[in-house]
Every structure is written in C-alpha cells, then in structure tokens.
C-alpha cells in the first residue's frame, strides 16, 4: 500500500491521478454520517490539503484494507476505484455489515421503494374517482394529488432501476478483472 496525498503542490506530479499506474487500485476513506474524508483510523483530515488516498497493486489488497478499516471503525466507508479514479463509480464500496442499510440502493431500500410506488399507483385512481365520480371534477385537488402520486411512484421505480443498473455494471467490471466477489 502506498499512502499518497490527493494533491501536493510540492510533489511532481502534484496530483495523485498522475502517480497511479494502470492495473492499480485506489481507496478513499470517509465517514458515513458526515461524508468527510478521513484516515484509516477514522480521524477526519485537518484540512483539504491533508487528504490522502491509498494506492494498491491488487484489488485483493484494497479489499482487505477496506474490510480491516471498517471493522476497526464501523462509521467509516471505503470506496475502491480502478486506476482511472473517480471517472467511474466505485468498483467496491466497503462498509461495516451493521451499516449496509445506510448505502444507496441496498435491497431493503429498493424493496421499500417498490412497495411505496405500488401503494401510490393503487391509491391514485381512488383520488381520481373521488374527484370525478362524486364531484364531477369540481374539487381538482384529488386529481392533482393523484397525478403527483403517479409521478412520485415513477421516480421511485426509476431510482431502483438506476441502482440496479449501477450494481450490474459494477459486477461486470469486477468480472472483467477476474474478481467474482461483489461485497
């Protein structure tokens, strides 16, 4: 593992993206709750100039580092990227098992979004019926609420689809690297 400042004006080259070589992996640690960068012990950096990343020669080493770090500091998240850096989503996002529910796109949230969308889609026609069958469209508010419920349901399903697509692409990138672990 190589610990490198993200940007160091005195170093040549100054940016970490110019130091990493193809085939290497980079890890960034941050707090789950505040989204602030931190070191492997969970301490936030004193300034933006002090932020570091961790460069590894293998994905297995980066994964091991991430798992050990989150086991020591459960409130930490470690994102592992390919040598191209943050130009694509993280190859791995490692969190403590107790904190998996805090991640976007986890199974529990996707299930809750799907159930919520179903409830909204089923309730919208009831509002349309109340407005048009009982009041000849004079209330208007139930119709507006019904339309908004359908829009919100579509957005929830779109979020689920986006998270599923991102997870599939991440699995494909891992498979292309010869790694079948998806945690």
Cβ neighbours of residue 83 under 8 Å, at least 6 residues apart?
20, 21, 22, 23, 24, 25, 26
Structure tokens at 21: 């070589």
Could you report the per-residue pLDDT of 28-80, keeping only the tens digit for each? Answer: 999 988 888 998 888 888 887 788 899 999 999 999 999 999 999 999 999 99
- In this predicted structure, the answer to whether residue 6 has a pLDDT above a threshold of 50 is yes
- In this predicted structure, the answer to whether residue 182 has a pLDDT above a threshold of 50 is no
Predicted confidence at residue 87, as pLDDT, reads: 84
Residue in 148, 113, 114 with CA at minimum distance from that of residue 128:
148
Structure tokens at 71: 């086991």
Packed helices 141-176 and 107-129: angle between N→C axes, nearest 10 degrees: 160
Predicted confidence at residue 183, as pLDDT, reads: 42
Backbone φ and ψ of 105, nearest 5°: 80, 10
Predicted confidence at residue 78, as pLDDT, reads: 94
Residue 156: count of CB within 10 angstroms of its CB: 20
Could you report the per-residue pLDDT of 100-149, keeping only the tens digit for each? Answer: 888 888 888 999 999 999 999 999 999 999 998 888 878 889 999 999 99
């Amino acid at each position: 593992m190589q610990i490198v400042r993200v940007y160091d004006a005195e170093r040549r080259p100054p940016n970490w993206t110019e130091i990493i070589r193809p085939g290497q992996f980079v890890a960034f640690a941050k707090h789950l709750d505040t989204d602030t960068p931190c070191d492997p012990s969970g301490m936030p950096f004193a300034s933006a100039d002090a932020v570091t990343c961790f460069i590894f020669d293998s994905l297995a080493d980066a994964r091991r580092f991430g798992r050990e770090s989150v086991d020591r500091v459960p409130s930490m998240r470690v994102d592992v990227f390919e040598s191209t850096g943050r130009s694509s989503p993280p190859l791995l996002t490692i969190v403590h098992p107790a904190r998996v529910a805090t991640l976007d796109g986890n199974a529990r949230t996707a299930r809750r979004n799907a159930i919520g969308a179903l409830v909204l889609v089923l309730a919208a026609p009831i509002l349309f019926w109340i407005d048009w069958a009982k009041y000849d469209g004079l209330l208007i508010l139930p119709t507006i609420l019904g339309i908004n419920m359908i829009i919100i349901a579509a957005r929830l399903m779109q979020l689920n689809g986006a998270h599923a697509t991102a997870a599939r692409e991440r699995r494909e990138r891992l498979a292309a690297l010869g790694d079948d672990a998806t945690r």
